[in-house]
Structure formats: structure tokens, C-alpha cells
Structure 1
């Protein structure tokens, strides 16, 4: 770690006292000619400690501060000094905090706009998916078609409606969504699984019922 270009303040591991005013033990000190001095005696007592962790805040506070210092602590196991944060001027920290707050507010406004846009896109896509179901299965009750579409196309669900073929309203994807709904709603499939029936066997036992419902919906308009 290169500290040559910076004022370096040490967070000591042992009890140290200022060589000038004898104040101590010191939470922070600066070494001058190998002698510890408190921040007041080193003319750094007016600076505020900014812990590491927020990169943007640290960068802005450092840039705005005419006087600043790096705070380090010796790591025994790694045998090296590690940064703990900065000492910066109070006014500089206030400027940095205001700038970061403005950024956070801008990001929040952008997130809100994106959420509104995504919600509108989801409404349009769910309606299109429901219309595709109605076209393939005119006998499917309209409310059921909307329910199937909303379930299959939920953002982030990983369901068939969010797949590439689902977004393209591919016939196979739309049919798969309807078939899945019938399996869970109109057959004892879920009860079979809960009773310990292997999934493949449970699917085989309800397959005929599913195909019967699908045949009816394909041919019976409104029924």
C-alpha cells in the first residue's frame, strides 16, 4: 500500500500518548519524527473521520477537502497497514453528502419511471397472451384465460410466458401454459403429488382429463 503521497493518520493498536501535550491514550495519532502526536497538536483536529465503504462519498469528500488524511491501522496477521477511512473537512463532507443524496434521488426517480414503464409493458403483454389463448381455445372462459395469462407471463417468474417462445406468443408456449393450468386446477394432480405419487405417474394419470378439457375449449366457443 503506497502512502507516500498522503498525510497518514494511524489508529494505534497500543496505548499511546501525545509527545507534545501528553494527552492520551490516543484514538488516532500522527507520527512526526517517530514521535506520536495527537490530531490537535498536528493541526488536524478540525477534520472529521469518514469510514471507508462508500466509494462515491469518499471520492467526493476528498476532492472537496483542501486538507485530508488517510487513516490506517496495522493488521497483525497480514502484517501491513490497511485503510480505515479518511479525515476530511466538515464542509467538504457536507458537500459530498449533498451530491450523493442528489444522485440517490435521481436513481430513485429513474427506478420509479422504469417501474411504471415495466408495469405498462406487463399489462399489454398479459392482454396479448390472453388474446392468444382465446384464439387457440375459444371455449376457454375469458376470466380463466386472463388468469392463465397473468400467471404464465409474470415478470421474473421463469414461467413459459417469459420464455422467448412465450414472448413471441408461440402456439406451443401458449398451449403449454393452458395445459399447466388445467393440470393444476381441473385435475387431482396436486393431490396425487401430495399423496406421494411420482410426478411422471401423476402426469400420466391426469393426461386424459387434460386433453379432454383442451379439446372442449378448442371447439366450444364461450362454453
Structure 2
């Protein structure tokens, strides 16, 4: 007689995926991919009146929960882990119609989540555009000689969501003068001086900044900035 280890009682009604070749004690079919233990002997799903159920592997928690809710009868499927000495869940057996209803519910939720993501993305895009516009306006207020397209470019670069740049920090979001000046100085440093070439040539960052400081100040003066820019360097 083929004796099968009995799963713990607290699991409830279960089906086992055997790790050894097993045959049904009733109809003698086998080897079985799934079985039920009755009187400590294996029984196939058909003989156990569970053959009409379909297997749903573990992995999708929401689908599993809903499939069990939609099925009048559901059974936990387990497999014995010899290394750990315990049964582990592999999925569930549920009614095919119940699984179909559960899948439809999950698809509806997925579509709702997709639409919400689209709405959120649109809202963030509007917020970002408004903030970049405000940032550019503040640049032009502090640097009235700065070309409009250059101010727009600096604002867009500094305020890009997720960039970690000065415009995304608390000071930047508050449009503080220090944050705006820092963004402008950074742009001038990279686009209007030889700073990047110096770095590529192996010049240390502090020394490179010292060498191009006069060039940065010259551009800022041309744009109408009259205060000390030492902090912005």
C-alpha cells in the first residue's frame, strides 16, 4: 500500500503534488501529478470529486484571493519540501467559471489603474510645466538680460522631476533666490566657459571652477546681475 504523508490539519482541504510516483488507490491511474490523501492512501482528483477544478499557481495574490471568492469550492495545493520538512503552498484549485470571473475583475482593476496612471501623469505634466514657467520667470526677473529661450532651458533642466537638481529641492520649489542663481551659474559654467573641457583634461574641479570664475561673472553681468556671485560659484 502506498502511504502518503498527511498534511497538517490546519491547512484544511488540500491536494498534494507528490514528489514520488503515485497511483490512485481506487482507479489505479498514475503516476499522478496531483492527489488527495484518503485514509493515508493516494486518490486521484476524479475519484475525489475534484476533477472539475482548474489549477491556479501561486504568484498573483489578488487573482488567487478573488478566484477563491468566486468559487464555491476551492482547494489549496501543496508540495512537501524534504529539506525544510514541511508542506508548502503551490497554488489553488478553483472552479473554471470562478477563475474567469476573477480574471475579469483583475483586468477591470488593471484598466482602472492604467487610467489613473494616465490622469496622474497628465496632472504632473501640467504641474511641472507651470513650475518651470515660474522658475523661468524668476530667472528673467533676476537676470533681465538673459535670453528667453535660455531661461526656459535652464528652468526645464533645473526643475526636471526626479533629477535631484537644484530646482527639485525645497529651496528650488520655493523659488528662492539662491536656488535660482545656482541654476543659472551652473548653466553658464557648462555652456559658456571651458569648464567641461578642463575637467576632461584632468583639472581638479575646484581649480577648474577658479579658472572659469571670471568668465561666469562676465556672462552674469551681461545678463544684468549686479550682486556678489561668490556663493553661486
TM-score range, shorter chain: over 0.9
What is the 5 A alignment of 1:1-223? 3-4=9-10, 6-218=12-224
| Residues in 2 aligned to 1:39 and 1:166: alpha-carbon distance in whole angstroms | 65
Q: How many residues align?
A: 220
RMSD of the TM alignment (CA)?
1.4
Change (3 A) 1:2 1:182: farther
| Residues in 2 aligned to 1:64 and 1:118: alpha-carbon distance in whole angstroms | 38
Which runs of 5 or more residues in structure 2 are unaligned?
1-6, 227-233
Change (3 A) 1:153 1:2: farther
Residues 76-106 of structure 1 deviation map (CA, whole Å, 9 limit, x = unaligned): 2211100000000001101111111111111
Stretches of 4+ aligned residues off by more than 4 angstroms: none
Range with bigger deviation, 209-218 or 131-140: 209-218
| Residues in 2 aligned to 1:119 and 1:50: alpha-carbon distance in whole angstroms | 40
Find the counterpart in structure 1 of residue 230 from structure 2: none
CA contact (8 A) 2:142 2:225 kept: no
CA contact (8 A) 2:77 2:90 kept: yes
Q: Which has the higher contact order (CA 8 A, sep 6+)?
A: 1
